Amino acid sequence: MAGGILITGVYGQLGRALAGVCTERGIDFEGRDIDTLDIGDAAAVTGWIETSKPYAVINCAAFTAVDDCESDEQLSSRINGTALGYFAKACNTVDARLVQISTDYVFSGNGDRPYRENDPVAPVSVYGRTKLRGEELTADARHHLVVRTAWLYGHGGRNFVEAIRGQIDSGAKRLKVVADQRGSPTFCDDLAETLLDLISADVGGVVHAVNAGETTWHGFAVAIASLLGKNVEVLPVGTGEFPRPAPRPAYSVLDTSRLLTVLGHSMPPWEDALARYLEATCAS
């Protein structure tokens, strides 16, 4: 395994996408998930990394149930925060690069322009605060990269696209979807390609990576229904119609200027990414 890549959370949507892209590119990798690695176990993390001696560790594992984080801050802190200290220390021992997947939730969501990497962070939820702690501990690794992303969907898991498709397939003729939250829907396959490109280009620090463009959840749902060729009424509603334990950022569009600078290209538009995802899932 020496010289390859380690991927945590490999059963998740992004982990699966990374495994697929590594295979396509002929990159040696090993993936683990909760059944074979508890990332909150310092000895387990250290043993795996020091034995494998990878050149990069990509941490896709996280406690991402945003509302559940509000009621279990201890678990959220252990997985999204503290664990990254173990990764950083072990990566320093074998001189590996640590890549942490972070989130738009580190920002308050009160902005009116896309957030840049150096904008002030001000998370308003337990999930956001614990992911920010994870970023801080990731920076203890000599070679580190924090990639903030948002509104992820991909193959092999629950996501917004499948939730909308599921409602339509079950006969719904009218959907109510939040129209006062803005962001950039991001396809895991595109993000996986970008992560490996960033590692290959030896990029460090913090980078924002989302599919180009922005919309609301309502706009996203309208596009999904249209691409599926379904005649469904999608009604715009306010966040207040769907009260949740964890506050959602009203505006979480991420500025990807640095991504363009370091790689020479941006990620594809979100509309194009959605069309490719739906084409692939419909074909299968």
pLDDT one-digit tens code per residue, 104-118 = 999 999 999 999 999
Percentage, residues of the chain above pLDDT 90: 96
The structural domain count of the chain equals 1
Residue 199 sits in a domain whose CATH number is: 3.40.50.720
For residues 263-275, one letter each, b for 16 or more C-beta atoms within 10 angstroms of the residue's C-beta and e for the rest, the string is beebbbebbebbe
33-47 confidence digits (pLDDT tens): 999 999 999 999 999
- For residue 269, pLDDT beyond 90: yes
**32 within a domain of the structure (yes/no):** yes
CB neighbour list of residue 238: distance below 8 Å, 6 or more residues apart: 178, 179, 180
Residues recognised as catalytic: 127
130-158 confidence digits (pLDDT tens): 999 999 999 999 999 999 999 999 999 89
Q: Rg of the Cα trace of the chain? A: 19
Amino acid at 163: A
Contact 58, 108 (CB under 8 A): no
**262 within a domain of the structure (yes/no):** yes
Q: Which of 57, 10, 252 is nearest to 150 (CA)?
A: 252
> What are the distances in angstroms from CA 38 to CA 13, 129, 130?
18, 21, 17
Q: What is the pTM of this model?
A: 0.97
Contact 173, 246 (CB under 8 A): no
156-169 confidence digits (pLDDT tens): 989 999 999 999 99
pLDDT confidence of 3, banded at 50, 70, 90? confident
Q: Give the domain extent around 86.
A: 5-158+185-212+252-268
